């Protein structure tokens, strides 16, 4: 099994969310309002799943290992593009979160920004995923031997198993700070 299999499975889930987000964007554009609870869930999905879980594995495992290899100039260029695209996605999700929070507080003037951010995400992810699936993940596997591939798979599973624990450690720490001493 290639170490990219789980990443490609994660892509399919992201594509499903994009499909729903596209429909909701069309509805919001038609109605002139947005479901802020849906947007909040979407932000959570992109921040937690697409970025911390999925991009986290890409960057902390696959991209880091590729950084140790002597890549062709074309592979190095695509790797750098993907890293920049991840950063752009983070900025857009943050902007969407902030705009949605303002909208929930009654600032309807941010509706165009929410629509713009949603449009960016639903337009961005299909091309980004296609680039990773077809132009990068499979072609770069030749840089790794079987032992290196197996080690990346094990690291991916370890990453996933620790992710939930990290999330809840952060939550409990935040609750402790917000709750103060008993």
Summarised one tens digit per residue, pLDDT across range 107-148 is: 999 999 999 999 999 999 999 999 999 999 999 999 999 999
| C-beta separation of 48 from 148 below 8 A | no
User: Per the CATH hierarchy, to which homologous superfamily does domain 5-179 belong?
Assistant: nmb1532 protein domain like (1.20.120.520)
Judged by phi (left if over 0) then psi (alpha if -120 to 50, else beta), residue 118 lies in alpha
CA distance 96 to 79: 26
Look at residue 1 and tell me whether its pLDDT is greater than 60. Answer: no
What are the backbone angles phi and psi of residue 4, rounded to the nearest 5°?
Answer: -95, -10
| C-beta separation of 97 from 43 below 8 A | yes
Closest by alpha carbon to 111, among 119, 176, 123? 119
pTM: 0.86
- Higher-confidence position of 137 and 7: 137
Site of tokens 């001493």: 181
Residue 169 pLDDT grade (very low, low, confident, very high; cuts 50, 70, 90): confident
Predicted pLDDT of residue 4: 77
Q: Residue 9 has what DSSP assignment?
A: H
Predicted pLDDT of residue 2: 59
Residue 180 pLDDT grade (very low, low, confident, very high; cuts 50, 70, 90): low
């Amino acid at each position: 099994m290639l170490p990219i299999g789980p990443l490609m499975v994660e892509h399919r889930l992201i594509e499903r969310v994009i499909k729903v987000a596209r429909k909701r964007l069309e509805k919001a554009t038609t109605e002139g309002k947005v479901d802020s609870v849906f947007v909040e869930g979407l932000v959570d999905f992109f921040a937690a799943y697409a970025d911390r879980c999925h991009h986290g594995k890409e960057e902390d495992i696959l991209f880091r290992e590729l950084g140790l290899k002597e890549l062709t100039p074309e592979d190095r260029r695509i790797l750098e593009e993907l890293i920049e695209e991840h950063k752009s996605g983070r900025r857009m999700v943050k902007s969407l979160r902030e705009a949605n929070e303002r909208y929930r507080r009654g600032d309807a003037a941010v509706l165009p920004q929410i629509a713009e951010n949603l449009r960016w995400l639903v337009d961005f992810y299909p091309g980004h995923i296609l680039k990773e699936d077809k132009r990068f993940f499979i072609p770069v596997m030749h840089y790794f031997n079987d032992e290196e591939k197996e080690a990346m798979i094990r690291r991916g599973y370890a990453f996933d198993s620790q992710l939930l624990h990290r999330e809840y450690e952060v939550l409990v720490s935040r609750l402790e700070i917000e709750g103060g001493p008993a």
